[in-house]
Structure 1
Amino acid sequence: MGFSPEMIAGVRGDSGPEIGVLIDASLLGSAEGGPAGRVPDPDRLFDIARLNKMLGWLPVAPTLLPPDCKGLAPRLLQVRMHIARMNRQAIDVTTEVTTALTQKGLRHVVLKGPFQQMIVHDDPFRRPSGDIDLYVAPRDRKAAGAVLQQLGFTPLEQDQMLWWVSFLGEQHFRRETDGAVIDLHHRLQQAGLPDWRGAEDVLDRAATMTHEGATIPVLSPVDGCLLMTVTLAKALLAHEPCGWAVADLTHWLARLGPADRAQLAKVAERSGQGQTLALGIALARACNSGNALADWPAHSLPGLPTDPAILRDLVFQPWQREAEAPRRRQMLRMLARGRPHVLAVEALRAALSLTVRATLERRQAGKASG
């Protein structure tokens, strides 16, 4: 999503002290930054946490909040209750849909959402989950869509289906009765970034969780880490705050044992995401002055700033670092390093994607005005 000037009006200027609170709350380690001597401002802390989707990380007990921010406790409690209601529905709908897909023999895996939060944080209510993300093999996309329609879901954005399905590799479905939305992915690539080769292998490596007697297929720890690095690359490309993603990645990485770490490196190389993984680790290390990632190697990526303070800002407050942020072409060149054919193909795909989207939007605007 894009962030309008109105949305970030309250956090213009440096939010270093508030970011430090978020980093501490998410167990990333202590952070330093911001004007010397300034204490966290409660309204700025709430807004920077909201934009980074990290309100669920802040404690609801007043005694655990910074002294001048104790008044946030009632608002944070309301947020927690809202997240619990929203994610409870997401859990129920996910269980319903995955059960139906399994009964039809369609392999799939749940991406992100409350079940991933349970795996990574032992808490399914850490972050609000509105849409439910599922991945299926490309050949199963239509069959999975048919199952969703049998459950009462209707395809959205029909006028732009060519753009969503062909270029972004996903299709959205909504059910009127409860407002539930399913994002059905058949590709793990993000537009303008290197393709995830052999994406169907995530189905072979999938783990499972059990909920009320139903088996829920979820990403393996290795694929969960790798997908989170892709999410971070996408956010960096779009200049979107993504503190939640770097927190999730940090917790994913800290949970990996030696065998999983070796497998992560192999999967990243086979899938063409080696540089993307290096980018994610670089961002996580920059936001982590503790010891959780001390034994993860630092990588030098051409085009990426090396100053940890700049990288932290690109994660939490990118509007402060517009000049230092990698541009679209620069990002693709960095992540496709050593593979000129990938750079050429993905640059062409991104250009075609933008052209097709603009054409569809003009056509839709013409119909509306007519």
Structure 2
Amino acid sequence: MGFSSEVIAAVRGDSQPEIRVLLAACQPSPADIGDTRAVRAPDPDRLFDIARLNKMLGWLPISPARLPPSCAGLAPRLLQVRMQTARMNRHAMNVTAEAVAALTGAGLRHVVFKGPFQQLTVHDDPFRRPSGDIDLYVAPRDRKRAGAVLQGLGFAPLEQDQSLWWVSFLGEQHFKRESDGAVIDLHHRLQQAGLPDWRGAEGVLDRADCVTHDGVRIPVLSSVDGCLLMAVSLAKALLAHEPCGWAAAELTHSLARLDPAERTRLAKVATRSGQDQTLALGLALARACGEHPALETGDPASLPGLPSDPAILRDLVFQPWQREAEAPRRRQMLGMLAKGRPHILAVEALRAALSQQVRALLARQAAKASAR
């Protein structure tokens, strides 16, 4: 889990009133978040912590009048978060434009995903949640050339002692520029470790859309690929037992923006890329967190091993520490998402096992080196 036991201890127990506030705040159609229909009023500190862990502070209104009465005092803290997010994301957007201009000048195809530009395309708001790192995808054959371009901008590769694990098994490499602290994650795969491979990932470059920032055309994921990425993010979080309310909300909003032709295209791209079961999982989790016509697709029966109770699924999204026994295990998840493709199950199970062995080996080597 990506959070310390101390942080989780503060939000163990009943958080349903606070989750109801977040659910009401993140629906595509406006809802009254002051009416939680709960046995108790939401606690402001618990609401803040649950929202922070789910990267959803930006969904809460900064007007005291629009918050539940018991939480009106959060308004100044939420305003401060919004201002910090705007400052952080503006910097990320400027650095992204700089990197995009350099990669374009070098003739390298690439696409920006996650971060403020994806928030802009989904919510018309690039400051919905903080984005510290910048994520770029390039074709595997262009990885080294793209890395050289970033180094020409003053970025240096990180985790050199772990590069075998990051580059070979996770399909990404991290670069940091000391002068301004900017970090770029350069991806050459869209797969998450322990989940089915995204087949034909280079297709996202062909389908990319563009937005303009300070005169620079920024290539971003198409609306279809943006939906698939959110489904993958939900699957990754479920596998890692991490709260992911933000991804469920973003998937719902992304789907709500699709027209009928794009919905048909999404189903075709999901099947071709081997992410049809991952999309079905994302839809099941998003459905448990809210109602919208865009979510009324997919077959829950195709996900053996996934709890059918929406309350359990909602907890797995917002507070997985409350449902450790019900969460699908790693091999169960892979089997569910690779259903009907035993060769994929075998390959990815082997890759995941090798990944853990390589990571453990590198950790032992680092420990020995530091002991000298």
Would the TM-score normalized by the shorter structure come out above 0.5? yes
One-letter code of the match for 1:279?
Answer: L
Instruction: Provide the residue aligned with 1:14 in structure 2.
Output: 14
Give the match's secondary structure for 2:164.
Answer: helix
Q: 1:217 aligns with which of 216, 219, 222?
A: 219
Instruction: Provide the residue aligned with 1:24 in structure 2.
Output: 24
One-letter code of the match for 2:320?
Answer: P
Q: 2:118 aligns with which of 99, 109, 116?
A: 116
Contact 1:206 1:219 (C-alpha < 8 Å) held by counterparts: yes
Q: Deviations over 1:125-174 (max 9, x none)?
A: 00000000000000000000000000000000000000000000000000
One-letter code of the match for 1:195?
Answer: D
Contact 2:255 2:295 (C-alpha < 8 Å) held by counterparts: no
1:44 maps onto 2:50 in alignment: no
Instruction: Provide the residue aligned with 2:242 in structure 1.
Output: 240
Instruction: Provide the residue aligned with 1:365 in structure 2.
Output: 367
Within 5 Å, which residues of 2 pair with 1:178-217? 178-217=180-219
From the superposition, tell whether residues 209 and 35 of structure 1 become closer, same or farther in structure 2 (CA, over 3 Å): closer
1:261 maps onto 2:255 in alignment: no
From the superposition, tell whether residues 330 and 128 of structure 1 become closer, same or farther in structure 2 (CA, over 3 Å): same
Instruction: Provide the residue aligned with 2:57 in structure 1.
Output: 55
From the superposition, tell whether residues 21 and 35 of structure 1 become closer, same or farther in structure 2 (CA, over 3 Å): closer
What is the CA-CA distance between 1:299 and the residue it aligns to? 2.3
One-letter code of the match for 1:203?
Answer: L
What is the CA-CA distance between 1:35 and the residue it aligns to? 10
Instruction: Provide the residue aligned with 1:281 in structure 2.
Output: 283
From the superposition, tell whether residues 355 and 276 of structure 1 become closer, same or farther in structure 2 (CA, over 3 Å): same
Q: Deviations over 1:343-366 (max 9, x none)?
A: 000000000000000000111011
Within 5 Å, which residues of 2 pair with 1:37-186? 37-186=39-188
CA distance in 2, matches of 1:105, 1:28: 38
Q: Deviations over 1:30-58 (max 9, x none)?
A: 79xx9951110000000000000000111
CA distance in 1, matches of 2:206, 2:276: 20
Contact 2:17 2:38 (C-alpha < 8 Å) held by counterparts: no
CA distance in 2, matches of 1:58, 1:292: 23
Give the match's secondary structure for 1:261.
Answer: helix
Contact 1:55 1:127 (C-alpha < 8 Å) held by counterparts: yes
Q: Deviations over 1:58-108 (max 9, x none)?
A: 100000000000110110010000000000000000000001000000000
Contact 1:157 1:172 (C-alpha < 8 Å) held by counterparts: yes
One-letter code of the match for 1:13?
Answer: G
What is the CA-CA distance between 1:2 and the residue it aligns to? 1.6
Contact 2:112 2:220 (C-alpha < 8 Å) held by counterparts: yes
CA distance in 1, matches of 2:300, 2:325: 22
**Alignment RMSD, CA only?**
1.5
Instruction: Provide the residue aligned with 1:343 in structure 2.
Output: 345
Instruction: Provide the residue aligned with 1:2 in structure 2.
Output: 2
Q: Which runs of 5+ in 2 are unaligned?
A: none
Q: Which runs of 5+ in 1 are unaligned?
A: none
CA distance in 1, matches of 2:367, 2:57: 37
One-letter code of the match for 2:315?
Answer: D
What is the CA-CA distance between 1:3 and the residue it aligns to? 1.8
CA distance in 1, matches of 2:224, 2:292: 21
Give the match's secondary structure for 1:11.
Answer: coil
CA distance in 2, matches of 1:304, 1:295: 18
Instruction: Provide the residue aligned with 2:329 in structure 1.
Output: 327
Within 5 Å, which residues of 2 pair with 1:303-322? 303-322=305-324
CA distance in 2, matches of 1:159, 1:242: 30
One-letter code of the match for 2:214?
Answer: E
CA distance in 2, matches of 1:65, 1:42: 10
One-letter code of the match for 1:333?
Answer: G
What is the CA-CA distance between 1:291 and the residue it aligns to? 3.1
CA distance in 1, matches of 2:18, 2:28: 14
Give the match's secondary structure for 1:272.
Answer: coil
Give the match's secondary structure for 2:185.
Answer: strand
